[in-house]
Chains A and B, each alone.
Chain A
């Protein structure tokens, strides 16, 4: 079997990584939303003594005792941090820091002291050994599949089931725990349930992919999805997609560079996050930049039209308007560019002496701006205590944002003329 030139073992590894990443990514959404991402980090470090204790007691790497030991310690971490910050009056982040570093240190000591008895070293906990996943196989229903794949598939199913069954509860606790309590949901039960699920997933992933990948996958897909979507259900799907993509991309990259698969997957998810920060449709830096730029250009364009209107109204030479604007705050090239756009769009044209003046369309547009401006000024004069010479500045900002409905409503107040005694033009 070959796919993209991959061997069967590669496919198994990728499938395992996808299961692990998706499971972590789904739970991570809730952690990110509840601003508890670092609890994921803390739990994934702190389960180490739980694992070590399970090893020492059972003397084997059987999955169930390991899961149990780690879940106990994981929930304990969450509970201890909460208890310390509540009763010990330690700030939340410091409490978490104290608990997880202490447990991690304990775990390292336990593992080092028991190193001769059990086959586990701290390095493998950190990096994971996902490359060797296909070597350790079990037979299920006649098919030979890697043990880690099976374990992670079960964990993923459990997590998905948990999210589907308690979707409503998890959602309300994630967004408003106080409302949840007021509505009769047991918020702390949901919280510790989630923490138990995080601990379970962490441990199941631990052995195969290492703690670093677990932390990356608990936080990065959720954060990426948060940049891409506005709804929890979309966010969960997006996070799962991001996590799966990181599994595939990270593996292929690692194969190419011959390096650590787990490390490469966390780098891959980091790259995905960076891309989302740059290019996300609503929350990305580029779209924000574009939005700001287009808004400032619109404002400049409208200001320019308004200026021509006022000049014409005052009877001064229309050409002086452009010159005056050039002495204003905008850089000259931008004013020139905006002017050329207005000429192209037919809002301005050149009169007999090459002077700029408003076309009928431009006139209509300019009336709208000036009307908004003066309506707002009279509204402020009627309803606030602003002195007369303070009305212009706020109106200069608001004029660009008044909708026809608001203008109609303001006009109903019979505001004619504006506070400075100028006529408010009609909405033509």
Chain B
């Protein structure tokens, strides 16, 4: 086991060198092409293509026999292309929707492939050794020639994508706009599908039918989490594809009874899950943190505004507001209010005196800012959106936390120009909740 690992890592073995290189290049190419397909919402087309290629392999076998590997690939390419054409025909000329068309082509072509392969098996000279590998993939069986082919295809794909980068980018993000700009969108689309076809067919012998689709989709979907730019996404997807292919094949070589195709896919899935959780902007954890931060901020500002407005509405009662009175200002539970007060005290914004609370100096400053945003927005709504003064509180309550500073100053300018802003802090256009008897 240890020896195996060392042999693999040092690439001393000619065979493992070949296999790893082939798998890596395949992963790279499918990551790049897959990114385009996923952005173009054609993710599952690769799946259909891979299935549809099976009868092509069988026909090639029936016509030319077992030995001819490139005939296999040619047959697969022909039937894969045929499948894509049928899907596009069904979508444009019948009432069948795209999803059903993909499913139909996938299952009937594959069924045909199985029928043919059983017929081959029943022939006296028949053996399906060449065919069976295509279902689940036999990465370890790659030879130098296969790798050269994969390298050529991967190189072509990278070259085409680089050369037509601008066109493909437009096609992926806004096909109709590309059309109005005079780009030959139909031909570009066909070109993209062609790349997808070639990449799928090349990958079939290594990772198999179902898992080829995975290699197209998963690295691309994972890369999408990390960036909003296509060029970076292509690079990341290519990297993810390459790394999963390398590590998957290596793991399969080291661990007994671990087929390479599934191992590659599971590692790619690992990349996907990590990206889903950890990606800086689109990841779930970052998203959850952002939500948490926002809800903390909203809660804090609500407490501050409640104390501020109560104090303002009844100056004779002093700055200290009892808990019961605060509770009546908003529809919040006493435990929620208690929690928010504690947090605000922890941040040094609120002081406590038994059952009564008041703002610290910093708290008062922030509260004034929030109240100001709130009231400016209310006045804006009353003046420009024709909303009644007793209806603006709720809208402003939601927006006050997210109004950026430059918007506030523009609101101020506008209201001041109209003579609607008398002092520094506008007075509330409606009665404050919880203050009326």
Instruction: Please give the residue numbers on chain A whose beta carbons come within 8 Å of chain B beta carbons, in ascending order.
Output: 32, 35-38, 40-41, 45, 84, 87-91, 93-98, 101-102, 104-106, 108-109, 112-113, 115, 122-123, 126-127, 212-213, 215-216, 218-220, 222-223, 226-227, 254, 257-260, 262-267, 269-270, 273, 277, 283, 285
Contacts and interface: CB of A to CB of B under 8 A. Distances in A.
B103 A215 contact: yes
Contacts of B257: 112-113, 115
B136 A108 contact: yes
B112 A270 contact: yes
Main secondary structure of the interface of A (DSSP, over half): helix
B110 A212 contact: yes
A262 B94 CA distance: 27
Interface string B252-269: 000001110111011001
A212 B65 CA distance: 26
Given A104-B210, A109-B258, A213 B99 contact: no
A73 B259 CA distance: 22
A270 B94 contact: no
B111 A94 contact: no
Contacts of B188: none
A285 B118 CA distance: 33
Nearest to B37: A94
Given A84-B276, A91-B41, 18 more contacts: A35-B97, A37-B102, A41-B103, A41-B106, A93-B41, A94-B221, A96-B44, A97-B218, A101-B218, A102-B218, A104-B214, A105-B211, A126-B114, A213-B111, A222-B100, A254-B115, A266-B111, A277-B90
Most chain A beta-carbon contacts within 10 A, residue among B107, B110, B136, B221: B107
A38 B103 contact: yes
B214 A267 contact: no
A229 to B, nearest CB: 11
A371 to B, nearest CB: 37
Given A227-B95, A258-B122, A215 B106 contact: yes
Contact of B43 (A91, A122, A219, A262): A91
Contacts of A270: 104, 107-109, 111-112
A260 B94 CA distance: 30
B38 A91 contact: yes
B107 A216 contact: yes
6 contacts: A41-B47, A93-B44, A113-B258, A215-B106, A263-B111, A277-B94
A220 to B, nearest CB: 6
A219 B41 contact: no
B265 A35 contact: no
A112 B259 contact: yes
A39 B221 CA distance: 18
A101 B111 contact: no
A40 B103 CA distance: 9
A264 B118 CA distance: 10
Contacts of A89: 282
B85 interface: no
A84 B106 CA distance: 24
Interface string B193-228: 000000000000000001101100110110011000
Contacts of B111: 212-213, 216, 262-267, 270
B113 to A, nearest CB: 7
B110 A97 contact: no
Contact of B210 (A101, A227, A254): A101
A-B interface, 9 closest residue pairs, ranked by CB to CB distance from nearest: A266-B111, A270-B108, A263-B114, A101-B214, A216-B107, A105-B265, A105-B262, A219-B103, A97-B217
Contacts of B269: 98, 102, 105
A259 B437 CA distance: 88
A127 B96 CA distance: 27
Contacts of B96: 223, 226-227, 277
A37 B99 contact: yes
A267 B211 CA distance: 23
Nearest to A218: B103
B261 A105 contact: yes
A261 to B, nearest CB: 9
Contact of A37 (B103, B108, B225, B266): B103
Interface residues of B, number: 59
A250 to B, nearest CB: 9
B166 interface: no
A384 to B, nearest CB: 27
Interface string B39-57: 0011110010000000000
Nearest to B288: A87
A264 B102 CA distance: 19
A68 to B, nearest CB: 24
Given A102-B265, A113-B257, A269 B136 contact: no
B107 A220 contact: yes
A273 B114 contact: no
For A96, A123, A220, A259, the residue with the greatest tally of chain B CB atoms inside 10 Å of its CB is A259
Contacts of A109: 258-259, 262-263, 266
A94 B266 contact: no
A222 B97 CA distance: 12
A376 B108 CA distance: 51
Given A45-B210, A105-B266, A90 B107 contact: no
A259 B258 contact: no
Contact of B214 (A35, A97, A112, A277): A97
Given A102-B265, A262-B114, A273 B108 contact: yes
A239 to B, nearest CB: 12
B118 A260 contact: yes
B257 to A, nearest CB: 5
Contacts of B287: 87
Nearest to A101: B214
Contacts of A87: 284, 287
Contacts of A45: 210
A94 B117 CA distance: 30
Interface string B118-158: 11001000000000100110000000000000000000000
A267 B112 contact: yes
Given A96-B44, A215-B103, A259 B118 contact: yes
A260 to B, nearest CB: 4
B119 A257 contact: yes
B114 A127 contact: yes
Nearest to B212: A101
B93 interface: yes
Contacts of A222: 100
Contact of A108 (B94, B113, B116, B262): B262
Contacts of A122: 135-136
Nearest to B90: A277
B272 interface: yes
Contacts of A102: 214, 218, 265-266, 269, 272
